[in-house]
Structure 1
Amino acid sequence: MSLPPSAALEAAVADVYRRESRRVFATLIRLLGDFDLAEDAMHEAFASAMTQWAAEGVPKNPRAWLVSTGRFKAIDTIRRRTRFDAAAGEIAQQLEQLSFNPEELDEARFNDDQLRLVFTCCHPALTPETRVALTLREVCGLRTEEVASAFLTTTPTIAQRIVRGKAKIRDEKIPYEAPTLAELPARIDSVLSVIYLVFNEGYSASHGDSAVRQELSHEAIRLGRLLLELLPDPEVIGLVALMLLHESRHAARTDDNGDLVLLEDQDRSQWDAALIEEGNQLVERALATRRFGAYTIQAAISAVHAAAPSAAATDWSQIVALYDVLLRGEPLPIVELNRAVAVAMRDGAEQGLAIIDSLVERGDLVDYHLTHAARADLLRRLGRHGEAAAAYRQALALAKQAPERRFLQRRIDELAEASK
């Protein structure tokens, strides 16, 4: 009768799982060509480690051992299917015949496999919702229930997205590979947009009872750091810098009741100096390449905010100038809205309000609650309380996040009190 594994061994295997499981999984996908088979094989390999490492000790290269064991487990699984599917036997034979030497699985090879997995999960042929679900599930290793909880939806909904995504990858033969240098500019945008979408949902939740979902922003930063390690592209650098600089404000963004604290009212002594320093260094690194894009410019804007001891001391002229650069590359209404707020801080509320009003007149961002919230704030500053209250009510009708709704209602109540 075998003895149960020691607590020390359990801790060692758990540590290897935490550090290496996603790398092992990515390599098994390359070797096996199937997401589900690779995941089952990985878990079987870790189960085997609990017994074999107890007798033989932890191997020098646990990652290679796990990949090799997982591969053999998968071949055994396929062979057991031969009684139901004659083709399975041929697949198992092909996998056995493929050249494989676990000693060749060095750091570079594992990194390549992870990069392939990132680009496969974020392939443009998949819907944005599917890319997010697949990336969090397969690259980050979150359970389906955790992904569903993070996005306040049901587990079956996320499971369906993941299943459809895997089916599309299989049926359309989407290659499990990183893009070539020629393809990279077009493909990297899809990856970065997934990471930034995950971060934004964590930094400022689109709906629900909490203003922030820090587990999501942390996961996005972790994914961004991984991508930066694998692919030090200027825009990857810029995105990681942007996320770090935003995240540095986390502790000051809500009060003890979970209510929102606006940037101008935040206690800047609560901002994380270490994250700001790291973000600033990455901004400088990205700018030095002279090949940067929108994420780097946005990070530079955040760096200007981070450098100011107060809202009043912020270099709003520099922020407006950076938004002007951003607008030339990305002439989007949301950029115009953000620039309008900066113009209002530099030139006065009337100037910013004129820009927002022109956006609304064009029909841009009329269903976006922050458009009306920004307009309401400028009207309030100008003393036009009736119009401000109406704009706040428009924002409230569109807002879905509970802390934002409470903030907007407080503003409405304050204006009603002031008009008595």
Structure 2
Amino acid sequence: MNETLLKSLTPGVLAVLVRRGADFAAAEDAVQDALVEAVRSWPADPPRDPKGWLVTVAWRRFLDAARADSARRRREDRVEEEPAPGPASAVDDTLRLYFLCAHPSLTPSSAVALTLRAVGGLTTRQIAQAYLVPEATMAQRISRAKRTVSGVRFDRPGDVGTVLRVLYLVFNEGYSGDVDLAAEAIRLTRQLAAVIDRPEVAGLLALMLLHHARRAARTAPDGSLVPLAEQDRGRWDTESIGEGVEILQAALARDRLGEYQAQAAIAALHADAPTTEETDWVQIVEWYDELARLTDSQVVRLNRAVAVGEADGARAGLSALAALDDALPRHTAVAAHLHERAGDLETAARLYAEAARKAPNLPERDHLTRQAARLNAVREA
């Protein structure tokens, strides 16, 4: 059984049912039933048209459930005529489903969580990690979102900004290596950019391309993390960098700056530099100032502190860091880096070890642990 194929087909199948009139919760239940049936029957009798098979079975499951529930008699009347079996439409419904999940009846955070679960295929735990909240909290949020949209017909597209946030989170989850969704996020953002002429859509696409271009250099052969300063820039994808820069320049020329364009500008400056030392850190700080003005994000200010440390010296970076909440994710790791640059190796080693204990994943924990060990070895030499 090809689980990857099933996962890739699921959003489109779900979108077809919603487009035919099924409410979101009922459609998702029907699709899950069809997936169970596929796992059972496909190994012995694989269909010629997998998506068409899933759509047909899921639609029948939906009709069965509708007929069995007398409270849904009106919906049954609306969907009584079952479409004839046949090849599924070649139209990619996945992007449409992103919009449908960004429904006006949902808060942006609930819309993002629901879409990541239903469309992105992420587990509740993965979504909780993306939001930095406990898994139980995220499970409740997704359940509430499903209850909110139950019985609501998705006949209006949602907010573009919410869709962009969804795509951004999906890309970041894929880029982390835990779930490989980065390429799918880029594909969907390309589609969005083709039909929606907004600088921020182009900015998000540029940002994804510029970050994705560095993917091959982010990990060593043993799977360990390679920091930006130590990456082999010869392994960066220059074609993707060129495309990202071109898209970004066209977006910036329209003079409607948004957060994704600002982030892409920072990524472009990193991509343009032959080495870390030759990076235009002063301009990066200026872009972080713009980004902080647009978002008022503490995470942005944390990253700005790193850039200030490069542009104006470690002490200036530590001064910028002191104004931030030390409970921020990665705050301790940033403090360790800046203390090391300032020459305080004892404090830096202690902070790297503390940051390792707080790390959200094994590769990051291992990297920070090695940093602490390296500094301790230098001190003892």
What's the TM-score, normalizing by structure 2? 0.77
**2:363 maps to 1:383:** no
Cα distance, 1:300 vs. partner? 1.0
**2:17 maps to 1:33:** no
Cα distance, 1:322 vs. partner? 1.5
Select the residue among 193, 198, 211 that pairs with 2:170: 198
Tell me which residue corresponds to 1:396: 356
Q: How does 1:291-330 map to 2 (within 5 A)?
A: 291-330=256-295
Cα separation, partners in 2 of 1:78 and 1:310, compared to 1, 3 Å: same
Give the count of matched residue pairs: 364
Select the residue among 58, 67, 77 that pairs with 2:64: 77
Could you tell me how far apart the structure 2 residues matched to 1:312 and 1:344 are? 12
Letter of the aligned partner of 2:102 in structure 1?
A: C
Structure 1 gap ranges (5+): 1-13, 48-56, 180-186, 205-211
Letter of the aligned partner of 1:95 in structure 2?
A: V
Tell me which residue corresponds to 1:373: 333
| Contact map agreement 2:299 2:328 (CA 8 A) in 1 | no
Letter of the aligned partner of 2:98 in structure 1?
A: V
| Contact map agreement 2:18 2:24 (CA 8 A) in 1 | yes
Q: 1:204-242: CA deviations, max 9, x gaps? A: 4xxxxxxx3251333433332343334342212111211
Cα distance, 1:27 vs. partner? 4.1
| Contact map agreement 2:282 2:311 (CA 8 A) in 1 | yes
Cα distance, 1:408 vs. partner? 1.8
Could you tell me how far apart the structure 2 residues matched to 1:356 and 1:76 are? 58
Cα distance, 1:192 vs. partner? 1.9
Tell me which residue corresponds to 1:54: none
Select the residue among 223, 235, 241 that pairs with 1:276: 241
Q: 1:269-291: CA deviations, max 9, x gaps? A: 11112221221122122212222
Could you tell me how far apart the structure 2 residues matched to 1:331 and 1:381 are? 27
Q: 1:295-345: CA deviations, max 9, x gaps? A: 011101101111111112212222122122222222322222222222222
Cα separation, partners in 2 of 1:300 and 1:388, compared to 1, 3 Å: same
* Coordinate RMSD, CA, aligned: 4.2
Letter of the aligned partner of 2:22 in structure 1?
A: G
Q: 1:20-62: CA deviations, max 9, x gaps? A: 8745642431322323554648998x99xxxxxxxxx99xxx9
Q: How does 1:85-164 map to 2 (within 5 A)?
A: 85-95=69-79, 117-123=97-103, 126=106, 130-140=110-120, 142=121, 147=123, 164=144
Cα separation, partners in 2 of 1:351 and 1:150, compared to 1, 3 Å: closer
Letter of the aligned partner of 1:198 in structure 2?
A: V
Letter of the aligned partner of 2:257 in structure 1?
A: F
**Which has the higher mean CA deviation after the structures are superposed, 393-402 or 257-266?**
393-402
Could you tell me how far apart the structure 2 residues matched to 1:18 and 1:384 are? 49
Cα distance, 1:19 vs. partner? 8.8
Could you tell me how far apart the structure 2 residues matched to 1:265 and 1:189 are? 35
Tell me which residue corresponds to 1:167: 147
Cα separation, partners in 2 of 1:86 and 1:384, compared to 1, 3 Å: closer
Cα separation, partners in 2 of 1:91 and 1:365, compared to 1, 3 Å: same
Structure 2 gap ranges (5+): 39-47
Cα distance, 1:377 vs. partner? 1.5
Tell me which residue corresponds to 2:43: none
| Contact map agreement 1:253 1:260 (CA 8 A) in 2 | yes
Cα separation, partners in 2 of 1:325 and 1:80, compared to 1, 3 Å: closer
Cα distance, 1:293 vs. partner? 0.1
Could you tell me how far apart the structure 2 residues matched to 1:260 and 1:79 are? 51
What's the TM-score, normalizing by structure 1? 0.70
**2:368 maps to 1:408:** yes
Could you tell me how far apart the structure 2 residues matched to 1:373 and 1:260 are? 14
- Identity level (%): 40
Letter of the aligned partner of 2:77 in structure 1?
A: Q
| Contact map agreement 2:352 2:371 (CA 8 A) in 1 | yes
Could you tell me how far apart the structure 1 residues matched to 2:54 and 2:357 are? 53
**2:313 maps to 1:348:** yes
Could you tell me how far apart the structure 1 residues matched to 2:235 and 2:346 are? 35
Could you tell me how far apart the structure 2 residues matched to 1:125 and 1:398 are? 36
Cα separation, partners in 2 of 1:391 and 1:91, compared to 1, 3 Å: closer
Cα separation, partners in 2 of 1:348 and 1:159, compared to 1, 3 Å: closer
Q: How does 1:212-291 map to 2 (within 5 A)?
A: 212-213=177-178, 215-291=180-256
Q: 1:359-408: CA deviations, max 9, x gaps? A: 2xxxx331234222222212212221222223323323322322222222
